[in-house]
Structure 1
Amino acid sequence: MSLNRKNKPEEISQIKFNLPQPEKFTLENGLKVIFIEKNNLPIVVALMIINSGSKYDPENKYGLANLTALTIDEGADGISALELSDQFDMLGSDFSISTDNDLINITLQSLSENFEKSFELFSKVIIRPDFNVTDFEREQKKIITRILQRKDKLDFLANQIFEKILFSADNDYAFPIIGYEETVSKLTNDDVKKFYSDFFFPENSALIIAGNIKLTELNKILKKYLTKWANKGAARSIKNSFVNTDKRIFVYHKRDSVQTEIRAGHLTEPRNNNNYLPRLLLNTVLGGQFTSRINLNLRERNGYTYGATSKFQYYKEAAFFEVSTSVGIENTANAVKEIISELNLIKDGVKNSELDFAKSFLTKRFPLSFETYRQLVSGIAGRILYNLPSDYYSTFVNKLNLVDINEVNKAATEFIKNDRLTIVLAGDKEKIIPQIKDLGIEFSEVDLYGNVIS
């Protein structure tokens, strides 16, 4: 049987997507728990989110949250790091810890039959970490090595410098999660212990669980292993001031670089339920997918890059808009011109065909965000972080399709601020500066920390 590929398959029906309603309850120690029973696979995933991301690093102790997260599983309740790893492996369980700007995330994936034994180990890491000096020093050295390696990664440096300049030193979102070499090297094991004591407590955390387990059984396990977790903590507030800047270029010199990493953007309003979807659709048209305007211009039409994207980056208490790409260094100024041109053109409005495609793109890929149990608990964590309504994901597709072109065009006018662009160019200044002199934009040279040096 042959297929006639000239005929486009007909769309059978509209996308329908509904998440199971979660069970929500609070343990006696104040820990919030969200549970979704899923019986498709014999697996349970648990995610503990702790409100202790890098934005809480004390001044000149940048990297402390990350180091705490990496040290916490290096031995717990007298069990060494190697023994913990072996026990998780024997149970067929996967355990991981990560840090972002807002949260420390501790994840466990286990077979249902081994969930209780795995969760016991999981709870020991959270409640009774050993924090041995030897383990601390080993993790500290590993992070410093990673920082040194990243000094050769121009994309990482461009991101680091861009966010530092964008937020300024008066904002705790300005600093890299991993920290700087000189700040991490000065951290002590006592710093880690204090950070843990201040932030790792039940009322500062939430536990999200999805998988093949009954609520009654889960309750027994939680009460058995988490009731003794009764820390009170002393979480602090953060510096979150904002300074709107004029359009300016900042050049970071990387000798003999054959490429330029470009970051261009500005601060914007934090995530807001009233305008999030228009901004999402706007960005999808502008630079949020392969056939977006910016990528078609820089990659397809001009051949400057393999890819160019834009995004609204949202943190819990801050946000920024950013265009990013990497181009051959000889095309630096031309690429900047085209980026600014596209940012100007988007203010003239999007086409109905572009908006229809953006809606189709977003709605059809939306269910893919919840394919796995890990994605499911991660999605719920996002709902908690941004204080989204309980029906947010179930109503997402319908609400997205109700956004009209006027709302998207209004978002372009309000949230693309071309007169406030911070543009970071990371590459060989000897090849970049002669090009950008004719752009009519003031420029400065900066160091690794975003400080102006000339």
Structure 2
Amino acid sequence: WIKRPVKEGYFAFSLPCASFRDEDTPFLDLLAEILGGGESSRLYLKLKRELNLVKTISTSSFTPYGPGLFEIYGTADPQNFKKIIEEVIKELEMIKQFGVSVEELEKAKTQILSDFIFSSETSEGLSSLLARFQILRGSYKDILWYQEKIKKATVEDLIKVSQKYFNFQKMVAGFLSEKKLFTEKDFQGILAKIKSKPSPEIFTLNNGLKVILYPQNDVPTVGITLAFPGGLRFETKETNGLFQALTLLWTRGTKNYTAEELAEKLESIGTTIKGFSGRNTFGLNVLSLSSKLEESLEYFKEILLNPAFDENECKKAKPELISLLLKQQDQPLHLAVNEFLKMLFPNHPYGLNSAGSLEFYQKFTCKDLRDAYKKFVRPDKGTLVIVGNFDPFFLKEKIKTLLMDWGSQSHKTILEEPEPDYPKKLITHLEKETYQTQILLGFQTPGLNSKEKVALEVLNSALSGQNGRLFRILRDERSLAYVVTSFLIFYPKKSAFVLYIGCSPEKEREAISGFWEILEKIKKDGFEPEEIERAKNRLIGSQKLSLQSNLSISEDMAVNEVLGLGWNYSSLYENLVKYSTKKDIKNYIKTFLKKKRSVLFIFGKNENRNNK
């Protein structure tokens, strides 16, 4: 700590890192760019914009011929120095555990590679660049090596490098201010409190299966999810319900066990293995006690590799599958949503019923399921995530041995669903004698991998629920609705944003006008700050509550990886939500929620409607 009669407070933290000759150098440069490379960097957004602890903050990776330093430095009120240490370490620890988002990585790559181009514009800049590589690496041609390493860097590369170099017990801190506010012993005390959590271990088997092991030692359970691309988006009108049937019967017996024998074996060790199917993915879920993990994995392998798809079991399962449809018919909202999605995504898988179709359930055979299994259950398309209380070293070797012989039974290219067309019919009335009219007003919006996804979620959160603007205005103030809300349905190519209201038939036109009034008001003036804050807190809180068990975490990680969001998406989600702005939401409404692109569905009595 240097005491000087200065007006500003200065801080710097250093961690030992690589030489320029080391293979890790490009990855350290990417980490420096992501953490402190400008006003959209992690540390700037967290410590400056959110917490207001610093006045400036930057990072750099100093990699000379000999050992280097990873440096974090800036200016701040000296009273904040202790808190800054804690928050910086939290951010570095987050990267060690969960890495960075794909968007952050791509932005950093673009910045570093563009700096190369700009520095080569002048003869002086180019000669300096060539000389640096010649002196430090022995060849100016290694510029090509460096650029290629940057281009090909992955999230997993950055996790490995951060775990290698972000050792906080080796951190050195320097401070410059008028007064010394704490001692070296105090600094060491801060570092001693740091408890690094186990980081996920990620590897790929020879058959192409991606495996993620994430030790969590809080409770003696293990959650396992194996996920693949599939589900509703890979069905047609003729095969609507295929994945529901496949995942139900997948665990109903194997080549070595009947359904009853398998159920008895699993129940005797307290293990559950079930199939799951959604709109975009399908797979297997396993919940096991840690003490029974080895046995559970053997049964998991048996179900994964040797499903029976017995014809007798298929016959028994048909009433269960048809029951899904009958339950829907008892719920008017589900009926209305199904009809609406047919309108919004005409002649497309996105418009199919997620519960399947009666026609398919009546006619399918187990050969249909075996063919689908061979086509879609492929290691090179899958992600296996295991979360819970286990020894990662033992489990890694166990998984390698267990699944080393699993190969694809089909090498046919799995064609993704096409881009959905926009509907030509924008208004539909479906007559039904009922005391309540259901109205759905919706839009095709960008897919789940789009940069607009989080802004749309914040908009939906601010509109829906009892604290949302729809409920407050259309129900509380105007008494128009029995129920009113908004909801989202995400798909890769396009998604659906829908406003829903259930009202008396005579209030139909007023309800529709109310929807548009609210959207136009938000487009013009945006939300109030407290509305945005409440919407964000609701999203973040709901997400955290949904990820309390090891199985829910494993399924979340596996599905996000398969969908291209990244296995670490949920760990980054809070920051994505926090940094979504009022301007983002206004722009979203202006761009995507236009009247001429809206689809209106009315389900109920005809009260002499005026179509206009």
Q: Could you state the TM-score of these two structures normalised by the residue count of structure 1?
A: 0.84
Structure 1 unpaired stretches of 5+ = 1-12, 442-454
1:313 is the counterpart of 2:489: yes
- Which residue in 1 is equivalent to 2:168? none
Structure 1 counterpart of 2:345, one-letter code: F
Give per-residue Cα distances to partners, 1:3-27, cap 9 Å, x unaligned.
Answer: xxxxxxxxxx999895663211112
CA distance 1:385–1:322, shift in 2 (3 Å): farther
- Conserved 8 A contact 1:344-1:418: no
- Which residue in 2 is equivalent to 1:450? none
CA distance 1:261–1:93, shift in 2 (3 Å): farther
- Which residue in 2 is equivalent to 1:49? 227
CA distance in 1, matches of 2:319, 2:456: 42
Structure 1 counterpart of 2:280, one-letter code: D
CA distance 1:403–1:147, shift in 2 (3 Å): closer
1:139 is the counterpart of 2:317: yes
- Which residue in 2 is equivalent to 1:434? 607
- Conserved 8 A contact 2:419-2:493: no
Query: What secondary structure does 1:434 align onto?
Result: coil
Give per-residue Cα distances to partners, 1:331-358, cap 9 Å, x unaligned.
Answer: 4333323223222322112223322332
1:286 is the counterpart of 2:452: no
- Which residue in 2 is equivalent to 1:204? 381
CA shift at 1:375, angstroms? Answer: 2.5
1:241 is the counterpart of 2:414: no
Give per-residue Cα distances to partners, 1:224-279, cap 9 Å, x unaligned.
Answer: 4322321242352144233334683322233x433233322011111345323322
Deviates more, 1:344-353 or 1:28-37: 344-353
CA distance in 1, matches of 2:309, 2:355: 19
Taking only the aligned residue pairs, the percentage that are identical comes to 24
- Conserved 8 A contact 1:199-1:235: no
| 1:35-74 map, 5 Å | 35-74=213-252
1:383 pairs with one of 556, 560, 565:
560
Give per-residue Cα distances to partners, 1:93-138, cap 9 Å, x unaligned.
Answer: 2222221121113111110011111121122112101111111111
CA distance in 1, matches of 2:306, 2:461: 45
- Larger Rg, first or second structure (1 or 2): 2
CA shift at 1:196, angstroms? Answer: 0.9
Give the paired residue count: 420
- Conserved 8 A contact 2:438-2:502: yes
- Which residue in 1 is equivalent to 2:522? 346
CA shift at 1:58, angstroms? Answer: 4.4
CA distance in 2, matches of 1:241, 1:86: 45
- Conserved 8 A contact 1:93-1:111: yes
1:261 is the counterpart of 2:438: yes
Structure 1 counterpart of 2:444, one-letter code: L
CA distance 1:235–1:45, shift in 2 (3 Å): farther
Higher relative contact order (CA 8 A, sep 6+): 1
Query: What secondary structure does 1:36 align onto?
Result: strand
1:404 is the counterpart of 2:589: no
CA distance 1:395–1:63, shift in 2 (3 Å): closer
CA distance in 1, matches of 2:304, 2:349: 25
- Which residue in 1 is equivalent to 2:66? none
CA distance in 2, matches of 1:94, 1:389: 26
- Conserved 8 A contact 2:322-2:361: yes
- Conserved 8 A contact 2:220-2:388: yes
Query: What secondary structure does 1:425 align onto?
Result: strand
- Which residue in 1 is equivalent to 2:274? 96
- Which residue in 1 is equivalent to 2:501? 325
Deviates more, 1:109-118 or 1:392-401: 392-401
- Which residue in 1 is equivalent to 2:393? 216
- Which residue in 1 is equivalent to 2:283? 105
Give per-residue Cα distances to partners, 1:265-299, cap 9 Å, x unaligned.
Answer: 01111134532332222222223x33111121233
Query: What secondary structure does 1:274 align onto?
Result: coil
Structure 1 counterpart of 2:333, one-letter code: D
CA distance 1:235–1:144, shift in 2 (3 Å): farther
CA distance in 2, matches of 1:332, 1:113: 59
CA shift at 1:36, angstroms? Answer: 0.5
- Conserved 8 A contact 1:154-1:426: no
- Conserved 8 A contact 1:286-1:346: no
CA distance 1:133–1:382, shift in 2 (3 Å): closer
- Conserved 8 A contact 2:285-2:555: no
CA distance in 1, matches of 2:479, 2:283: 40
- Conserved 8 A contact 2:249-2:314: yes
Query: What secondary structure does 2:439 align onto?
Result: strand
CA distance in 2, matches of 1:71, 1:365: 32
- Conserved 8 A contact 1:246-1:421: no
- Which residue in 1 is equivalent to 2:297? 119
- Conserved 8 A contact 1:247-1:420: no
- Which residue in 2 is equivalent to 1:413? 590
- The structure that is helix-richer by fraction is 2
CA distance 1:78–1:258, shift in 2 (3 Å): farther
CA shift at 1:59, angstroms? Answer: 4.8
1:82 is the counterpart of 2:82: no
- Conserved 8 A contact 1:343-1:418: no
2:350 pairs with one of 170, 173, 176:
173
1:372 is the counterpart of 2:560: no
Structure 2 counterpart of 1:275, one-letter code: E
CA distance 1:135–1:395, shift in 2 (3 Å): closer
Deviates more, 1:61-70 or 1:358-367: 358-367
CA distance in 2, matches of 1:95, 1:303: 47
- Which residue in 1 is equivalent to 2:146? none
CA distance in 2, matches of 1:246, 1:294: 28
- Conserved 8 A contact 2:445-2:497: yes
CA shift at 1:187, angstroms? Answer: 1.6
Give per-residue Cα distances to partners, 1:147-195, cap 9 Å, x unaligned.
Answer: 24433332221121111111111x2222113322123212222111111
CA distance in 2, matches of 1:199, 1:271: 21
Structure 1 counterpart of 2:358, one-letter code: E
Structure 1 counterpart of 2:512, one-letter code: V
- Which residue in 2 is equivalent to 1:194? 371
CA shift at 1:33, angstroms? Answer: 0.7
Structure 2 counterpart of 1:350, one-letter code: F
Deviates more, 1:242-251 or 1:376-385: 242-251
